[in-house]
Structure 1
Amino acid sequence: MDGETRDLFVTVDDPKKHVCTMETYITYRIMTKTTRVEFDFPEYSIRRRYQDFDWLKNKLEETQPTHFIPPLPEKFVVKGVVDRFSEEFVETRRRALDKFLKRIADHPVLSFNEHFHVFLTSKDLNSHKKQGATLLSKMGESVRYVTSGYKLRNRPLEFSAIGEYLDTFALKLGTIDRIAQRIIKEEVEYLVELREYGPVYSTWSALEGELSEPLEGVSACVGNCSTALEELTEDMTEDFLPVLREYILYSESMKNVLKKRDQVQAEYEAKLDAAALRREERTGGPTEVEKCQDKVECFNADLKADMERWQNNKRQDFRQLLMGMADKNIQYYEKVKRINI
């Protein structure tokens, strides 16, 4: 949805650390502004912790099985960060959680989900968490049980192509992610050496009267190069790697939706075979086969619409990401060049 038609705005900010007897955790403020009639008020402000976001994601997967659910950042691992209570970790997670909610809020179906509404508005989320599995999710479990081991006869080629694309896409991103992490590791090691290297010239200058000024100049140059490299490394760690990781997780989520689609088709084909054996007579209402066929067609339509939406978002995100990193590298080399001159 574009800015003029959007009627739901969500922001994640203001992380706070809570230290309790049994645990320590971070909560984030969720700010919501909306003009939708199903909301009682135009603005909401509540606090949520990571496990609340995880509850929302699970509920969306249960109740909206035909749609791609945006991924959450991994619970304990953010690339390049060890301490999950450090400012860097918390800020990286906050940005990922903010993107997670914005992707849901911008979706024409997910944004109207009742659990998303509860997540954004309820002061007491625990009472909703205690509710059992939905009928839809239980039915999904029975479908998986019935269709396990069933081989599809007529899987549409377009969905096979989507699956192959997602496999290749995740593989390529995984390779880029590993190389980027190796580059960052080497840059950090180089940065450590630079920081040791610069002060040597400063100490030396105190012993050399005639060479004092040029030695101090070299020391200052190395220090400035260290600062420029540190900024570039931070940009890769905080901006580049999280986007790669998000899309790797996104592709896994999408492949799970494809599996669910295949399970629904398997159920349809199994009922079609059973009906043929029974030579089922047509009654006044829709048959079980026709109901399953409707489910398959609904799944196919939702999946294709989400795939198109995802491709558009992916192109925009990676265009912005790659152009941003190119600019950062240009700025780094321009700084280093000016320093050396």
Structure 2
Amino acid sequence: MSGAAQCGSADTCAPRGLASSGQKPIAEILHPLSAAEEPLSPGPDVTVNVGGDKEAGLTNGTPVEMSSPASASSLFNRLQLDDDLEGDNRDPYAFTETRDLFVTVDDPKKHVSTMETYITYRVSTKTTRVEFDLPEYSVRRRYQDFDWLRIKLEDSQPTHLIPPLPEKFVMKGVVDRFSEEFVETRMKALDKFLKRVADHPVLSFNPHLNAFLSAKDLNKRQGLALLSKVGESVKQVTGGYKLRARPAEFCAMGDYLDTFSQKLGTIDRIAQRILKEQSEYLTELREYGTVYSSWAGSEEELQRPLEGVAGCVSTCCGALEDMSENMSQDFLPVLKEYVLYTESMKNVLRKRDQSQAEYEGRLEAAILRKQEDRTPIPMEVEKCQDKVECFNADLKADWERWQSNKRQDFKQLLTGMADKNIIYYEKSQAAWESLVTLLQDKQTEDKTSETN
């Protein structure tokens, strides 16, 4: 699928039909009676009622039964995490896109110079696209290069949802940004970001992505002048204009994002607390096992049972450490990614609202001029209407894609967490069951020695 198949920029998209988004044709809106009689709706502010007796839910337009699930499988079914969901079948790109661009981020390396210390990552690309001169590329990029790419994508594709990058800044003294664990986690996040961009049917054809994947040295001197000029022009037009209500489908998106981000924030805080408590418990458990090991050295008769207890505790420590590592390196990063994802989606919604406000402001000004001196409708009004339609179409397509990715990611996240917990308890149970066998054998030996 080529980039021309969809609106790539709000400034260059072609006119489209108006029936899909509910926008009225200009000729109908400019009719004196309909223009005078049409009431003004409230502004675009979106609020979520999380108080009262009912808790805000994430139904996404589908009724959800509130009774407790009978099993884990029924819970997954209620959360709509199956691969064959109807929502996935509605993905507008599912049957049209063919993957011909594959990217991978790996092999982090630390660079130390007199001025700074930084990490670079190898970005490998394989493709059959004619836009690339070679079928394979391998370049090294650092975090600020990924940040440059994301800024350029936001600049040149303002109507699309740009995947988020992991947060750049970390608290000094709390997280070592050069530690193996931190670099590994960031590398996975950068790899996911680049894969999402490369799999997108429009973003993947962006020339800045081409340069990022193939150029040995990126030309990053171009600033945000164009973006700033566009933003200032929109502010001038919409500064004194109160936006009419968003279309219902975009209001539903805003409500969902607000509730979803609240839920993720709560889960993240609880998970952080659980991880901290697990770390404290692990420290105590290790000391507990050490006591039994030292005790076994001074009690010849109880040496085997005490060493057995120490071995069980050691096994439990290893299993708990694996589970905690999975939570810190796999579970929490996905939560944080989707917290950033919701902010990116809200940002696109705000841009859509600005585009709608610009269109409505110019339209009302044109209506007044037409009523006063019969001047024709300026072409810029029609261009603004096309821009709004472009925003609506691109945003709805990206929303469907985001929902599909989210279902798949959270299915993998929750099933992975369940598997890790099962493994932890199975290892712990097996260790303590082996101790029971050891104690029974010891008891049998004692009885035999007493008989003899």
TM-score range, shorter chain: over 0.9
**C-alpha distance in 2 between matches for 1:2 and 1:11:** 22
Could you say if the C-alpha distance between residues 136 and 204 of structure 1 is closer, same or farther in structure 2, counting changes exceeding 3 Å? Answer: closer
Q: Which residue of 2 aligns with 1:6?
A: 99
**C-alpha distance in 2 between matches for 1:139 and 1:50:** 27
Q: Which residue of 2 aligns with 1:20?
A: 113
Q: Which residue of 2 aligns with 1:214?
A: 305
**C-alpha distance in 2 between matches for 1:83 and 1:132:** 30
Q: Does residue 307 of the first structure (1) align with residue 403 of the second (2)?
A: no
Q: Which residue of 2 aligns with 1:232?
A: 323
Choose which of 206, 218, 237 in structure 2 pairs with 1:146: 237
Identity of aligned residues (%): 74
With normalisation by structure 1, the TM-score equals: 0.95
- Higher RCO by CA contacts (8 Å cutoff, separation 6 or greater): 2
Q: Does residue 281 of the first structure (1) align with residue 375 of the second (2)?
A: yes
Q: Does residue 30 of the first structure (1) align with residue 123 of the second (2)?
A: yes
Map of 1:40-51 to 2, 5 A cutoff? 40-51=133-144
- After TM superposition, give the deviation of residue 208 of structure 1 in Å: 0.7
User: Tell me, what secondary structure is at the counterpart of 2:114?
Assistant: coil
Map of 1:157-306 to 2, 5 A cutoff? 157-279=248-370, 281-282=375-376, 287-306=379-398
1:135-179 superposed Cα distances (whole Å, 9 cap, x missing partner): 455223321343245321242111111011101101100100000
Aligned 8 A contact 2:103 2:124 in 1: yes
User: Tell me, what secondary structure is at the counterpart of 1:85?
Assistant: coil
Q: Does residue 131 of the first structure (1) align with residue 131 of the second (2)?
A: no
Q: Does residue 337 of the first structure (1) align with residue 434 of the second (2)?
A: no
User: Tell me, what secondary structure is at the counterpart of 2:130?
Assistant: coil
> Which amino acid in 2 is paired with 1:100?
F
1:204-237 superposed Cα distances (whole Å, 9 cap, x missing partner): 1111110111011111111110000000000000
**C-alpha distance in 1 between matches for 2:239 and 2:350:** 11
Q: Does residue 319 of the first structure (1) align with residue 393 of the second (2)?
A: no
**C-alpha distance in 2 between matches for 1:220 and 1:136:** 62
User: Tell me, what secondary structure is at the counterpart of 1:159?
Assistant: helix
Is there any run of 5+ residues in structure 1 with no aligned partner, and where? none
> Which amino acid in 2 is paired with 1:29?
R
> Which amino acid in 2 is paired with 1:309?
R
Map of 1:55-66 to 2, 5 A cutoff? 55-66=148-159
Aligned 8 A contact 1:63 1:137 in 2: no
With normalisation by structure 2, the TM-score equals: 0.72
**C-alpha distance in 2 between matches for 1:114 and 1:134:** 18
**C-alpha distance in 2 between matches for 1:333 and 1:86:** 30
Structure with the greater alpha carbon radius of gyration:
2
1:286-327 superposed Cα distances (whole Å, 9 cap, x missing partner): 721111000000000000000000000000110111011101
Map of 1:74-89 to 2, 5 A cutoff? 74-77=167-170, 82-89=175-182
